[in-house]
Amino acid sequence: MDKQEILALLHKYRQGKCSEGEIRKIHLWYESLDPELRIALSVQEKQLIENKMLKNILGQTSDSEREDSEIQLTYKWWKSSALYSGIAACAIIAISYLLFFNNPKSDGKILAETFISHDFEDKLVTQKNKSDRNKKIRLSDNSFVTLSPGSEMVYPETFASDKREVQLKGNAFFEISKNPVKPFFVYSGKLVTKVLGTSFRVKTNLENKALEVEVITGKVSVFENESGKESAKKVNKHNSGVVLTPNQRVTYFAESGHLMTSIVDAPVVIQESQDQIKLDFNNTPLTEIIEILHKEYGIEIVFANDHFGKCTFTGDISNMTLFEKLTLICKSNLAEYELKGTRILISGEGCD
């Protein structure tokens, strides 16, 4: 079958008007597809697709048409256990072809979860970075996404009026344009990141396969999407999760559903405070220096006891990383620091 015939049959199938012979053609066409285009669905997902497709078919036909023998034959065939698995996947492929055949921005491949998270009529774009370099993508709201090699993202050509949604598989850096009335959602497996306007990174930890979100600027909320498929309407009702600020990270462990917050490996200076902080000290009280570092990185730094109130530091710690600065300061006062979640604790005997 050529492209036009396939499109005509798929459109006819969605309306529930295919004859037994035409349905058999669609089934054979699906079997001939490249295995990479076949989407593996769980039993729950297949049931959801079946319900939505049947609702679509019944919603587009009159009462008399529903009694027609062809419709009855199609319905019985759909429910047949022998062909159920193939046609459920075929229904998804059918919709993807209808949406993507004439879309030059898409390579025809999408994530299975996208059809669950978005309405079937959305015009979606699939971007996959097949190169060995980062790929920068501009979205319709003037946000930018830097897609890492081997990563894939699905998003609508134009965002809805009340929300912005994308689905990510792999690693990406997001620079989201501010819009307080139109939140931005990133679906990555069972992890959902919600922002209004900020920059952050979503990635997969290769060592433990955990998902991570790191905030560079602004503030984001991160929580578990238990089904992995819910829309933003339901996501807004979630109360659990964590709120992250700059230089904070959350790691999500899918097996346990646990969210663990921490400090990023390489904290960066908060943009708003750059070129405003003096880092050349002369017998400066440690309490004053710690307050400066807090403003510089947005990370809370606390002392284990009150004996550090009389400690001082002399030296230039400009052009050093946060951890290099802390190491030098602590060594000069016979102290040490350790990371405690999203805080840094300085411990030792202090100064008399």
* CATH 2.40.33.10 applies to domain 271-348: no
Q: Kindly report the pTM of this predicted structure.
A: 0.62
Instruction: Tell me which CATH code domain 123-263 carries.
Output: 2.60.120.1440
pLDDT, tens digit only, all 352 positions of the chain: 665 676 677 667 666 777 777 777 766 665 555 444 444 444 554 455 555 555 554 454 444 444 443 334 334 434 443 344 444 444 444 444 443 333 434 333 334 344 334 443 458 899 999 999 999 999 999 999 999 999 999 999 999 888 999 999 999 999 999 998 999 999 998 889 999 888 999 998 877 778 999 999 999 999 887 654 444 444 444 446 899 999 999 999 887 778 999 999 999 998 655 555 678 999 999 999 999 999 899 999 999 988 898 899 999 998 899 999 999 999 999 999 999 999 999 999 888 7
CB count in 10 Å sphere of residue 195:
25
CA separation for the pair 48, 105 (Å, rounded): 28
Q: Which of 160, 201, 157, 198 is nearest to 180 (CA)?
A: 198
CA separation for the pair 299, 297 (Å, rounded): 5
Q: Spell out the alpha helix ranges (H) of the chain.
A: 3-14, 20-32, 43-59, 63-66, 69-79, 84-100, 114-117, 232-235, 286-297, 322-331
- Give domain limits for the chain: 3-100, 123-263, 271-348
CB 148 within 8 A of CB 129: yes
How is residue 193 annotated by DSSP? E
Two domains, one topology: 123-263 and 271-348? no
